[in-house]
Amino acid sequence: MTRITFNSSDEKLTEAFNWAKEQALSYVNYEDKVGDWYEAALPNRKSFCMRDVFHQSMGAHFLGLQHITKNMLNKFVENISSSRDWCTYWEINLNNEPCQVDYTNDDDFWYNLPANFELINCCYNQYLWTGNLDYINGESYLYFYNKTLNDYINHWDKDGDGFIEFNEVNGRRGIASYNEDKKNQDALLIADMLAAQYTGASTYSKILSLNHDYEKAYDYQEQAKGIKEIYNNDWYNGNTKSFYSIKNRDGIYTDTYIGICNTMPLRFDLVDTPYIQGVLDYIYEKGAYNVEELSYFPELFYKYGSTKKGYELLLKLSDPQLKRRDYPEVSYSVIATIVLGVMGVKADYSYRTVSTISQLNDTGYGKLENVPVFNNHISIHHKGSSSSTFKNISGEPLYWKAIFRGRKDKVWVNDKPYMMIYEKDSLGQEYSYVTLLVKEGCEYNIRVI
């Protein structure tokens, strides 16, 4: 198997990628009872847990492990059960069993309730990059999505307000957050749970649209819209220029900083544009409680164009001196951040389109080779922020959307003058782009001024 490679004029980036690639691949296992899998939990636990798999899945894709991710997601999807009140197994081991440390029986097991909703988001992202239609119309997947957006919510929403609440009597069997601190027992709603429900509804709406069920798609999009309005109107904290993490049972919002509760709303596009920079600044100021939280930060800052801080956090995450750098999530996150963040690559199988935007910090270069996308392999080469080259190494024709920040007056495609289109991104910043159809074996260079 030919795997992705990356090199850059920035030796620190090249070193980070090469370390992460070797480290991440060391966690891959083949032909166990559970099938092929990669570690996505505490090292040496011989297992994979839902939250970690979701976060590691994009790094795994770039390493050519998308079929392994599919196997692992299958296991979660197939084990949803009414006997567990529409939860699945939180963590599965190499023997294809729920981990004993997390699971005693169907009445006593560990479960973080945002997971069902994030699984829907993860599967949709895998579809965008692989084109695997199982994620969109596979029977077991659609069953999981439908049960999550209906029976799951109905069971765990004890007061009938449409949101899954934090309920102490649920114990470890229904923790309404990814944050597991027992100090939050007075909480009613926690922000990452709200963000998870939002992405569950909005992503399911997109999947329904792809299946031409537009009436239901509209209903779930309206559901997501309602959650977004509540969060941005009621949860905003003007003192911190960010958002509250917790709403207590007395209706009072608390200033307690919980990293995961600030990252997840950004990760799932819940935060309205005017507030995004304030949330990023708040996260940067407060920092991460542990390496798991930190592993989300670099990609998040790159996602919203904060490249200098994204770069700083990426190097921090890959620093050999970082405590617990061997946690599997770290290496997979470094790979994903370099591809999605530094090189600005996105894919959308629905339109067979790959978009790129350079987020290199200087005038140097970055080059990715053998990036898997759909059934293709591509290469991307950025020189600073003014020149990008794209090659469809193998596979059917696809579209390349080459994006450049700002309004560019002149553009050349393979040294011939061309016309650009101008738009604004989610932050209201203007950018210029060209879209080209790239056949197998063809290569295009775009230069702008």
Residue 154 corresponds to which tokens in the numbers above?
């109905």
Domain assignment present for residue 19? The answer is no
Where a domain ends, among 294, 314, 345?
294
Domain assignment present for residue 345? The answer is no
Predicted confidence at residue 1, as pLDDT, reads 63
Same domain for 83 and 218, yes or no, is yes
Domain assignment present for residue 192? The answer is yes
Domain assignment present for residue 6? The answer is no
Domain assignment present for residue 9? The answer is no
Residue 3 to residues 132, 166, 371, 378: CA-CA distances in angstroms? 20, 43, 8, 11
In the chain, the number of structural domains is: 2
Same domain for 412 and 279, yes or no, is no
Q: Which residues are CB-contacts of 48 (< 8 A; sequence separation ≥ 6)?
A: 37, 38, 39, 40, 41, 72, 91, 92
Same domain for 172 and 50, yes or no, is yes
Domain assignment present for residue 131? The answer is yes
Same domain for 250 and 382, yes or no, is no
Which CATH number goes with the domain that contains 196? 1.50.10.10
Element (H, E) at 405: strand 398-405
Same domain for 110 and 214, yes or no, is yes
User: What is the biggest distance separating any 2 CA atoms in the chain, rounded to whole angstroms?
Assistant: 68
Same domain for 75 and 181, yes or no, is yes
Residue 429: other Cβ atoms inside 10 A: 11
Specify burial of residue 238 (Cβ count, 10 A radius: 0-12, 13-18, 19+): exposed
Same domain for 170 and 83, yes or no, is yes
Domain assignment present for residue 178? The answer is yes
Contact present, 379 and 393 (Cβ < 8 Å): yes
Same domain for 49 and 176, yes or no, is yes
The position carrying tokens 């729920």 is 98
Where a domain ends, among 271, 294, 317?
294
Same domain for 105 and 201, yes or no, is yes
Contact present, 237 and 255 (Cβ < 8 Å): yes
Predicted confidence at residue 156, as pLDDT, reads 96
178 vs 250: CA distance, rounded Å = 22
Sequential pLDDT tens for the chain (449 residues): 669 999 999 999 999 999 999 999 999 999 999 999 999 999 889 999 999 999 999 999 999 999 999 999 999 999 999 999 999 999 999 999 999 999 999 999 999 999 999 999 999 999 999 999 999 999 999 999 999 999 999 999 999 999 999 888 888 999 999 998 877 778 999 999 999 999 999 999 999 999 999 999 999 999 999 999 999 999 999 999 999 999 999 999 998 898 899 999 999 999 999 999 999 999 999 999 999 999 999 999 999 999 999 999 999 999 999 999 999 999 999 999 999 999 999 999 999 999 999 999 878 999 999 999 999 999 999 999 999 999 999 999 999 999 999 999 899 999 999 999 999 887 788 999 999 999 999 999 999 99
Q: Is the pTM of this model over 0.85?
A: yes
Same domain for 277 and 171, yes or no, is yes
Where a domain ends, among 248, 273, 294?
294
Domain encompassing residue 114:
28-294
Domain assignment present for residue 11? The answer is no
Same domain for 387 and 258, yes or no, is no
Predicted confidence at residue 416, as pLDDT, reads 96
Predicted confidence at residue 398, as pLDDT, reads 98
Which CATH number goes with the domain that contains 384? 2.60.40
Same domain for 82 and 220, yes or no, is yes
201 vs 192: CA distance, rounded Å = 14
